[in-house]
Chain A
Amino acid sequence: MKIAVCIKRVPEMDVTFKIAPTGKAVDETGLKWDMSDFDGYAVEAALQLTEKAGTGEVHVISLGPDVVQETLRKALSMGVAKAVQLKCDTVPFDAYAIGTALAAELKDGGYDLIMFGKMSIDGANGVTQFVVAELLGLPLVHACSKLEIADGKGSARREIEGGGELVSFALPAIVSIDEGIARPRYPSLKGIMAAKRKPLEVRPAQLGEVRLTIETMELPPPRAAGRIIGEGAAAVPELVALLQNEAKVL
């Protein structure tokens, strides 16, 4: 079984973001970067599938400038066999442009399964996998929380409002991964050593037309200070009145 996982390098989220002077992007100074969370789950799930099957290999693909090699190398040190960088100076905001480049790379790769995180945790669009599925004419199962491959067929669980949905699909196929499927392993020291000897190929990204750009970004308005109305039962009538008339939530 041959699996490809498309991964994205994103900033770690536990910081207060600033907007760059252009007003169209996040200020990247001082940010730390890592593999997008959902992509990490996908890499782990892919590794587990091949380990369970006892055969097959996992490849990872990332689109972007040379810094994405750091993210690719992390995947290699987790146990992935091969990495491909689709090189471009900046990552466009348009999933169609990205998906076109990914599809061109994936088309003749002979993959049984192509995996994505259900969305990147920075852009949070979650549409790249749909573009790739459409361009390659493959079935897509979005946001899987469980995944099994047996006898050349796949089955997956999706979490839906108040329950789960079980789907089966033929291979080759595309799946995108939700949280809860598997916690990504830490790269072991042996894995880190082994990663140095694994192939990391670099090719120019054949981006599709960019039809979507960010015009401006803005931070959420600062929260207004709270107001203390009173204490205990005495405050209830005024609170109810305010919730009805001012906040209009009752």
Chain B
Amino acid sequence: MDDSQYFNEQHLQVRDMVRAFARDEVAPVAAHFDAISEFPWANIAKMAELGLLGVPWSEELGGAGLDLTSYMIVIHELAKVDASHGLTVSAHTTLGTSPIVYFGTPEQQQRYVPLLASGRVMGGFGLTEESAGSDAGGTQTTAVRNGDHYLLNGTKRFITHGGVGEIFVVTAVTDRDKGTRGGISAFILTKQNDDLARAAEHNIGHADELTPMPGFTSGRKEDKLGWRASDTRELIFQDVRVPVENRLGVEGEGFANFMRTLDAGRIGIAALSLGIAEGAFEEALKYSTVRRQFGQAISSFQGISFQLADMATEIEAGKHLVYHAAAMLQRGQNVTKAAAMAKLFCSEVAMRATIKAIQVHGGYGYTKEYPVERMMRDAKICEIGEGTSEIQRLVIARELLRDVTA
């Protein structure tokens, strides 16, 4: 891809910086945090310092004030060496922070966004429940209005930053009869970081000025195939008193707002997937020229070089989908279809590319001596989280058919 197609000089400066950071600070620890499945607080602190946890938010709200292309570059470059670090940026920024930026009152923005954008505390987004996965409208969590507050009860599942986060945007049913058409609302909830001691070593992850809400806790931490340095947990609400001023947006509009959040989130997961694919490709390309069998570099065998050609071609196509969708979003265009296409294509490219990368590495690729096996484990969830591939196809098909039948 010709860089000038989507990037200006500032984008390239951001890319250079994140590349250097990823190479020097992330790559050396990625395997370790994957193995022990812990949140990499030391690097989170460094990322906060560099502004990577609030890339697209205005400087008034404590962000870096860059555009969405810069934001996607950050996720893409981090994911080239470690998907978990890329996901942290994506889940924290798009899922945890953007609903407050886009739908919050000025008071809510002032209160929560600077803490999130500066990276002082981690944020998350609670939509999924046991009975509400792809069918996100099937939310069972309830919020019952009682004077100046709501009482929340229920359990969310698979929430990124569930343990390490302190600020969450969650959905709950406020009117069972209306369902997804005006019956689901969003709320801002606060709890204490469960990993306080480790986070405190790096002076990050906690804000004294936030009051934890009694009855709001995190549950079991998932033991996952990939994204192991990312913290995924249940969120449990037991009679949590949430002040009315913590409702995000108009009562009943929570679902529609979340669906819009997901559009941007999908481009982020597409950028993440692209990073994984490219990271795996670069490893495979390098290895293929070094590894010799039958007296020659394995890259000289067509069976290997054609795999590299396929990987590179798909990655190139994915870059156009991601950065085109990001530019559209920046211009304020509707990206529902473009984001779903980017996410569908890139997540499947990541899976194909990482499997090929292992194949190119032979038996060595199947061991932890090389990063490609981790990359393959990290790739799989990209076809599931923030809407499975089936759901992306459903969204794309719905957009296509609406255009025809309208």
A residues with a Cβ closer than 8 A to B are 34, 73-74, 77, 186-190, 192-193, 195-196
CB neighbours of B59 from chain A (8 A):
190, 193
Known A-B contacts A188-B51, A189-B55; the reply to A196 vs B21 at CB < 8 A is no
Separation of A193 and B8 alpha carbons in the complex (Å): 13
Contacts of A192 in B (CB 8 A): 10, 13-14, 17
The interface residues of chain B lying within 8 Å CB-to-CB of A74 are 13, 16
A34 to B14, CA, bound (A): 14
Chain A residue contacts of B49, Cβ below 8 A: 188
Per a CB cutoff under 8 Å, which of A73, A189, A196 touches B14? A189
Nearest-Cβ distance from residue A14 to partner chain B, whole angstroms: 10
- How far, in angstroms, from A189 to B56 measured CA to CA in the complex? 10
Task: With a 10 A CB-CB cut-off, give which of A73, A74, A189, A192 has the most chain B CB atoms.
Answer: A189
Q: How far is the CB of B168 from chain A (nearest CB, A)?
A: 25
Q: Decide yes or no whether B136 CB sits under 8 A from chain A.
A: no
Interface contacts beyond A186-B20, A187-B13: sample of 16 additional A-B pairs, CB < 8 Å, sorted by A:
A73-B9, A74-B13, A186-B21, A186-B50, A187-B17, A188-B49, A188-B50, A188-B51, A189-B14, A189-B50, A189-B55, A192-B14, A192-B17, A193-B64, A193-B65, A196-B10
How near does chain B come to A122, taking the closest CB pair, in angstroms? 19
The smallest C-beta distance from B117 to any residue of chain A, in angstroms, reads 11
5 contacts between A and B (CB under 8 A): A186-B21, A187-B13, A188-B50, A189-B66, A193-B65
Please report the C-alpha to C-alpha distance between residue A218 and residue B31 in the assembled complex, in whole angstroms.
41
- Smallest CB gap from B64: residue in A: A189
State the CA gap A186–B77 with chains docked (Å): 15
Q: In this complex, which of A73, A74, A187, A195 has the most chain B Cβ atoms within 10 angstroms of its Cβ?
A: A187
Residues from chain B with a CB closer than 8 A to the CB of A195 are 13
Q: How far is the CB of B153 from chain A (nearest CB, A)?
A: 40
* B350 CB-CB contact with A under 8 Å: no
- Contact A190 to B64, CB < 8 A, known contacts A73-B13, A74-B13, A196-B10: yes
Contacts of B65 in A (CB 8 A): 193
Shortest Cβ distance from residue A79 to the other chain B in the assembled complex, whole angstroms: 13
CB distance from B315 to the nearest CB of A (A): 19
Per the bound structure, the CA–CA distance linking A34 and B15 in Å amounts to 13
B264 within 8 A of A: no
Which residue of chain B has its CB nearest to the CB of A193?
B65
Could you say which residues of chain A place their CB within 8 Å of the CB of B52? 189
Measured CB to CB, the residues of B under 8 A from A are 9-10, 13-14, 16-17, 20-21, 49-52, 55, 59, 64-66, 70
Min CB distance A30 to B, Å, is 14
Complex: A209 Cα to B49 Cα, angstroms: 46
The 9 A-B pairs of least Cβ separation, nearest first, read A189-B51, A189-B64, A188-B50, A188-B51, A192-B13, A187-B17, A186-B17, A186-B21, A190-B51
Instruction: List the B side residues contacting A190 at CB < 8 Å.
Output: 51, 59, 64
A214 to B59 Cα, complex, angstroms: 50
Q: A12 CB to closest chain B CB, in angstroms?
A: 10
Which chain B residues lie closer than 8 Å to A73 at the CB level? 9, 13
CA–CA, A186 and B24, complex, Å:
11
A77 touches which of B13, B20, B55, B70 (Cβ 8 Å): B13
Beta-carbon nearest neighbor of B55 in chain A: A189
A190 to B17, CA, bound (A): 12
The residue in chain A whose Cβ has the minimal distance to the Cβ of B74 is A189
Shortest distance between the CB of B332 and any CB in chain A (Å): 21
Query: What separation, in Å, do the CA atoms of A77 and B64 have in the docked complex?
Result: 13
Name the residue in A192, A195, A196 with the highest tally of chain B Cβ atoms < 10 Å from its Cβ.
A192
Q: How long is the Cα–Cα vector from A121 to B50 in the complex, in angstroms?
A: 27
List, in ascending order, chain B residues with CB within 8 A of A189's CB: 14, 17, 50-52, 55, 64, 66, 70
How far apart sit A73 and B16, CA to CA, in the bound complex (Å)?
Answer: 12
Query: When chains A and B are docked, how far (Å) is the Cα of A189 from the Cα of B51?
Result: 5
- Closest CB-CB distance, A66 to chain B, in whole Å? 12
CB distance from B53 to the nearest CB of A (A): 10
Q: How far is the CA of A192 from the CA of B18 in the complex (A)?
A: 12
| B13 contact set on A, CB distance < 8 A | 73-74, 77, 187, 192, 195
Q: Which chain B residues border A34 with CB–CB below 8 Å?
A: 16
B64 CB contacts on chain A under 8 angstroms: 188-190, 193
Q: Once the chains are docked, how many angstroms separate the CA of A231 from the CA of B70?
A: 58
Q: How far is the CB of B211 from chain A (nearest CB, A)?
A: 29
Task: Considering the complex, give the chain A residue whose CB is closest to the CB of B25.
Answer: A186
Complex: chain A residue closest to B65, CB-CB: A193
Give bound CA distance, A73 to B20, whole Å.
Answer: 16
| Complex interface: chain A residues within 8 A of B51 (CB) | 188-190
Contact yes or no, A193 B66, CB < 8 A: yes
Determine how close the nearest CB of chain A comes to the CB of B16; give it in whole angstroms: 8
Q: Which chain B residue lies CB-closest to A196?
A: B10
Q: Bound state CA distance, A186 and B17, in angstroms? A: 6
Shortest CB-to-CB span from B88 to chain A, Å, is 16
A186 to B64, CA, bound (A): 15
In chain B, what residue has the closest Cβ to A183? Answer: B24
Q: Hey, which chain A residues are within 8 Å of B21, CB to CB?
A: 186
Q: How far is the CB of B8 from chain A (nearest CB, A)?
A: 11
**Bound CA–CA A141/B271 (angstroms):** 48
- Which residues from A are CB-within-8-Å of B55? 189
B13 closest partner in A (C-beta):
A192
B-chain residues with CB within 8 Å of residue A193 when the two chains form the complex? 10, 59, 64-66
Smallest Cβ distance from A155 to chain B, in angstroms?
Answer: 30
Which residues of A lie under 8 Å from residue B70 when comparing CB positions? 189
- The docked-state distance in angstroms from the alpha carbon of A74 to that of B14 is 10
Q: Which residues of A contact B9 (CB under 8 A)?
A: 73
Cα separation A34 to B52 with both chains bound (whole Å): 22
Cα A225 to Cα B17 in complex, Å, equals 41
- The CA of A34 and the CA of B51, in the complex, are separated in Å by 22
Q: A190 — nearest CB in chain B belongs to which residue?
A: B51
